[in-house]
Structure 1
Amino acid sequence: MDRRRASSTCTSTGSWDYEVFLSFKGEDTRYNFTDHLYAALYQKGIRTFRLDEIRGEEVASTLFKAIEKSRCILVVLSKYFAHSGWFLDELVKIMECRNQNGKVILPVFYHVDPSDVRKEEGWYGEALAQHESRNIFGHKTQRWRAALREVGNLSR
């Protein structure tokens, strides 16, 4: 799946499908923190997109459209977030939307230190080293590193 195709536009209009896009690594936070956060947003009437167990090619286009059509994005950065190229690609798209039109990004550092994300240390350093050792992502790792630095800097 070529995620670069979907990364060309980011909505800057006031016409939103969602108030919040919730980005998270399911195995880390789905049945605890993220579920509680989603429930709280729902109870307040805040229309929130979260990707549930959807698979296949159409996921990327659905996901990227939802990012583009969301007013703000909550990124839950957890222990294993960076272990998945999928979530790192999603983060790149999120940061592109921030840079293209000022989309509001709210990072939540769930049991991780923002400086570990920013400086690629701890779990984040290990994950990126693993991706690079596999040598299958090529140019993507540089974009992932830039997106992680940028989202880590939002905590300052």
Structure 2
Amino acid sequence: MSLRNAQTASSSSSSSSNSTFSPGYNFDIFLSFRGEDTRRKFTDHLYTALVGKGICTFRDDEKLERGEIIDQNLLQAIEESRFFIVIFSKNYANSESCLNELVKIMECTARGGKAFPIFYHVDPSEVEKQSGKYGEAFAVYENNANLEREQIQKWRTALTEASKLAGYHIENQ
């Protein structure tokens, strides 16, 4: 069962338009964002604009934000998307779920997907070097005995790779 047909069964939402923008994919765009930072502001406006243009866009439902484990349906939505917009905000790195999404997104870009970062009130160098708020988040992860070092390194690598992609820097707007 595809995610498009299982919208009510899963905790996800996507535009319901039948786009021909990316044949062979169930979603044209997957939005990755930290809900507490951008959901009711930037991300809602971006989602509305994309859907208004007939672009089939996936974003998680608010219910998914509460858990830290990526739902299998979310991983499937990433795999079924052609493009990815990653909205890096001040608390993005505080979410293991966001970081796991990013790892999956970067795996998909290695297979031909395209990711576009948006640095929302965050300096791109903080994402690249995991400094500032991103460094604070990783200091917590490094001290967490329950996290595997390999997973932390995957997050670091994905952040560094994504920060080097051509994107947009939004500050004080």
Structure 2 length-normalised TM? 0.77
Letter in 2 for 1:93: K
Alpha carbons of 1:150 and 1:61: their partners in 2 closer, same or farther (altered >3 Å)?
Answer: same
Structure 1 runs (4+) deviating above 3 angstroms are 54-59
Select which of 27, 31, 34 maps to 2:36: 27
1:16 and 1:141 mapped to 2: Cα distance?
A: 30
Shift of 1:96: 0.8
2:69 and 2:142 mapped to 1: Cα distance?
A: 27
Select which of 139, 147, 150 maps to 2:158: 147
Alpha carbons of 1:126 and 1:57: their partners in 2 closer, same or farther (altered >3 Å)?
Answer: closer
| Deviation string, structure 1 residues 15-65 (Cα, Å, up to 9, x no partner) | 111111011010000000000000110111111000012447995211111
The root-mean-square deviation of aligned C-alpha atoms, in Å, is 2.0
Q: Which one has a bigger Cα radius of gyration? A: 2
Q: Larger RCO: Structure 1 or Structure 2 (Cα < 8 Å, ≥ 6 residues apart)?
A: 1
2:144 and 2:119 mapped to 1: Cα distance?
A: 27
- Matched residue count: 143
Q: Secondary structure at the match of 2:87?
A: strand
Letter in 2 for 1:89: N
Q: Which has the higher helix share?
A: 1
Q: Partner of 2:83 in structure 1?
A: 72
- Percentage identity across paired residues of the two chains: 50
5+ residue gaps, structure 1, are: 1-12
| Deviation string, structure 1 residues 106-154 (Cα, Å, up to 9, x no partner) | 1110000111100111111111111111222112101000001001111
Query: Would you say the 8 A contact 1:114–1:155 is kept in 2?
Result: no
Structure 1 length-normalised TM? 0.85
Query: Would you say the 8 A contact 2:82–2:113 is kept in 1?
Result: yes
5+ residue gaps, structure 2, are: 1-21, 168-173
Letter in 1 for 2:140: Q
Q: Partner of 1:4 in structure 2?
A: none
